[in-house]
Structure 1
Amino acid sequence: MLKIDGVSRRFGDVVALDEVSLEIGQGEFFALLGPSGCGKTTLLRIIAGFETPDAGRVTLDGDDLLDKQPNRRPISLMFQSYALFPHMTVAKNVAYGLERERLPRQEVRQRVGEVLETVGLSAHAGRKPAQLSGGQRQRVALARSIVKRPRLLLLDEPLSALDKKVRADMQLELKRLQHEVGITFVVVTHDQEEAMSLADRIAVFDSGTVRQVDAPVSLYERPRSPFVADFVGANNLFEGTASGLDGIRSAEFGMLAGTPLDTLAAGAKALLAVRPERIELTDQSATRGLAGSVLDVSFYGGVSHISVEVPGHVRPVLAAVQGASTVQAGAKVKVRWNAQDAVIMAVDR
């Protein structure tokens, strides 16, 4: 549906986007994920029409978007600040875009009523934004965006202004609404959990380039570059050289078991990544594993994080176990994992 082909954008000496190419399908919930300053918001503004790229094409159903003014594009943009009119009621805020198009009053009332029911705000139609909670204001902004029935809805950090519990509720609400209204959603976020819980596919950005595009599970379990492995979720990273199909050879620890994502030449620099929940802690007397001592145990309700200092490794190894941990700080342990639970990738990606 949406095709972005070789889009580049510079601001002086700063390269915001460097030949970015993406394809987004009809009805997809697509996330642009990356740290601040990586170019994801610039791309969103180009799609919306608020920025002009230096090179590249953007098409929607084969039609060139770059030739159209922002108000002529079948696209809605939901701002991070929501940008609601404080002097207008909820119903008036939602109806504003339709009234600007001079649609018949009866049609405006009908469409506003339908969308307010969809987002669960029918009872609040007469209230003003100041009388609403943060989550309710977010739903008003969403209703205003979808009432015009755009082909594409762009969301710029839509949940960043909400507290943690409301954000979790609104993630579910956004996903439900997206399926219900059938509009293609493109969301910009720097929050990995938000992207993983919302999106059908995620594009990970770094310094104006796309490092990987994948479904959340594949992105988490099979990162294809050191940046993605380190940025998406917690990971334990070990450097070494490729050594056949069964692992890498580390100067500090010898052979470390893992599964290569691609064929790597023997002796090539490689990185092994293993998730905390794949780490197993055993007694120091175990024959296999890396010896270390427990630095800290943190309990988060459903899961405990255990930091283990392994001599020769730059950062503590992080393990995650369900529930409360029986391991105490200061305990001598060994950390180990199975080869199929660790991925190996080239360093120069």
Structure 2
Amino acid sequence: MLQITGVSRRFGDVTALADVSLEIRQGEFFALLGPSGCGKTTLLRILAGFESPDSGAVTLDGEDLLGRPAHRRPVNLMFQSYALFPHMTVAKNVAYGLEREKLPKAEVRSRVAEVLEKVGLTSMAGRRPQQLSGGQRQRVALARAIVKRPRLLLLDEPLSALDKKVRAEMQLELKRLQHEVGITFVVVTHDQEEAMSLADRIAVFSAGQVEQVDAPVALYERPRTPFVAGFVGANNLFSGRACSVGLAADGLGVLPGSSDLPDGTPALLAVRPERLRLDGGQNGEGVLKGEVADVSFYGGVSHVSVTVPGRAEPVLAATQGATPIRAGARVSLSWAAGDGVLVPQ
């Protein structure tokens, strides 16, 4: 549905976007994920019509999008700050865009009532924004964005103003609404959990470039670049050269992993903490041996940090529930070859 081809944008000496190309499908929930300053919001502003690229093309349903002014695009942007009108009621905020289009009053009333019911705010229609909670204001902003039935809805860090519990609830709500209204959503976020839980596919950005585009599970289990391996979720990264059974790591020997890289290729081996098996004592058959430096309990999961001779950074292992292992214990670490992913450096 949306085709972005070779889009670049510079601000003086800073390259915000460098030859970015993406395809976004009809009805898809698509996330742009990356650290602050990586160019994802610049791309969102180009799609909305608030920025113009220095080069490249963007088409929506095969038609040029860049040639249309912002107010003529079938695109809506939901701002990070929500940008609600404080002097208007909830219903008036939602109706504003329809009234500007000079639609019949009966149709405006009908569409506002319908969308307020969808977001669960029918009883709040007469209230003003300052009388609502953060989650309710977010729903008003969302209702105002979808009431005009855009082909494409852009969301800039939509949940960043909410506390953790409300954010988790709104993630479910956003996903449900997106399926219900059938609009294509493009969300910008630096929150990996948010992107993984919401999106059908994720584009990971770094320094103005797209590093990888994939479904959440594929992105997590099979990163294709060192940046993605280090940015998406926690990972233990070992440096060395590819060999037939995994990675020949400096000072650590041969570590098990799977790849199709030619032998001798400089590579990183990525092993997720939850894939590591911890055995007490130094006599186990572990791939690595070391000493527990720290144990942190996070409710359902314990993180065990292990200092390994020959490696500067500790190795992180995750175990379900509380663990009997304590700091100072000697342990061995092992993992299956299929759980280690080699990424070319």
Q: Provide the TM-score with structure 2 as the length reference.
A: 0.99
**TM-superposed deviation, 1:266:** 1.6
State the secondary structure of the residue aligned to 1:259.
coil
Per-residue CA deviations over 1:223-249 (Å, capped at 9, x if unaligned) read 0011000000000000010112x2010
Q: What's the counterpart of residue 331 of structure 1?
A: 329
**In structure 2, what is the equivalent of residue 293 of structure 1?**
291
- Could you tell me how far apart the structure 1 residues matched to 2:285 and 2:276 are? 16
Q: Distance in 2 between matches of 1:148 and 1:255?
A: 59
Q: Could you tell me how far apart the structure 1 residues matched to 2:22 and 2:340 are?
A: 28
CA apart distance, 1:47: 0.4
After superposition, give the CA deviation of every residue in 1:7-58 in whole Å (9 maximum; x if it has no partner): 0000011110000000000000000000000000000000000000000000
The letter of the residue matching 1:309 is: T
1:230 maps to which residue?
Answer: 230
Q: Kindly provide the amino acid, as one letter, of the partner of residue 320 in structure 2.
A: Q
Partner of 1:256, secondary structure, is: strand
Letter matched to residue 268 of structure 2:
L
Is this contact kept in 1: 2:255–2:287, CA < 8 A? no
Q: For the residues of structure 1 that align with 2:169 and 2:309, how far apart are their CA atoms?
A: 43
> What fraction of aligned residue pairs are identical, expressed as a percent?
74
Report the secondary structure of 1:325's partner residue: coil
Q: How far does residue 335 in structure 1 lie from its aligned partner after superposition?
A: 1.0
The AA in structure 2 aligned to 1:249 is A
Aligned residue number for residue 44 of structure 2: 44
Q: Distance in 1 between matches of 2:306 and 2:27?
A: 44
Instruction: Report the Cα distance in structure 1 between the residues aligned to 2:269 and 2:111, rounded to whole angstroms.
Output: 53
- Confirm whether residue 280 of structure 1 aligns to residue 277 of structure 2: yes
Cα displacement (A) at 1:123? 0.3
Residue 28 of structure 1 aligns with an amino acid whose one-letter code is: E
For the residue of structure 1 that corresponds to 2:10, the secondary structure is strand
> 1:309 pairs with 291, 307, 310, which one?
307
Paired residues for 1:204-283 under 5 Å: 204-244=204-244, 246-260=245-259, 263-283=260-280
Aligned-residue offset at 1:197: 0.3
RMSD: 0.6
Distance 1:235 1:114 in 2: 45
TM-superposed deviation, 1:287: 2.7
Conserved? CA contact 2:291–2:328, under 8 Å: yes
Runs (4+) of structure 1 moved beyond 3 Å?
A: none
What letter corresponds to residue 117 of structure 2 in structure 1?
E
Distance, in Å, in 2 between the alignment partners of 1:334 and 1:48 is: 53
Q: Take 2:185 and 2:266, find their aligned partners in 1: how far apart are those partners?
A: 39
Letter in 2 for 1:251: D
In the alignment, the residues of structure 1 paired with residue 162 and residue 197 of structure 2 have an alpha-carbon distance, to the nearest angstrom, of 16
Count of aligned pairs between the two proteins: 344
Residue 164 of structure 1 corresponds to 164
Cα deviation, residue 251, structure 1: 1.8
In structure 2, stretches of 5+ residues that fail to align are none
Q: Please state whether the residue corresponding to 1:57 is helix, strand or coil.
A: strand
1:16 alignment counterpart: 16
* 1:288 Cα deviation after fit: 2.9
Q: Please say if residues 19 and 209 of structure 2, whose CA atoms lie closer than 8 Å, have aligned partners that are also in contact.
A: yes
Report the Cα distance in structure 2 between the residues aligned to 1:329 and 1:77, rounded to whole angstroms. Answer: 49
Q: TM-score with structure 1 length normalisation?
A: 0.98
Deviations 1:271-318 (A, max 9, x none): 100000001101221133211111111111111111111111121111
CA distance in 2, matches of 1:315, 1:108: 60
**Distance in 2 between the 1:46 and 1:159 partners?**
21
CA distance in 2, matches of 1:337, 1:94: 53
Q: Which amino acid letter does the alignment assign opposite residue 164 of structure 2?
A: K
Q: Distance in 1 between matches of 2:285 and 2:261?
A: 29
**Pairing of 1:165-184 with structure 2 (within 5 A):** 165-184=165-184
Matched, 1:185 2:185: yes
Cα separation, 2, equivalents of 1:277 and 1:303 = 9
Task: Give how far 1:186 is off.
Answer: 0.0
The SS at the match of 1:27 is: coil
Question: Match of 1:336, as an amino acid?
Answer: S
Contact 2:7 2:56 in 1 (8 A): yes
**1:346 maps to which residue?**
344
| Gaps in structure 1 of 5+ consecutive residues | none
Aligned-partner residue type, residue 252 of structure 2: F
Q: Secondary structure at the match of 2:309?
A: coil
Q: Report the AA paired with residue 259 of structure 1.
A: S
1:183 & 1:251 partners in 2: Cα distance? 50
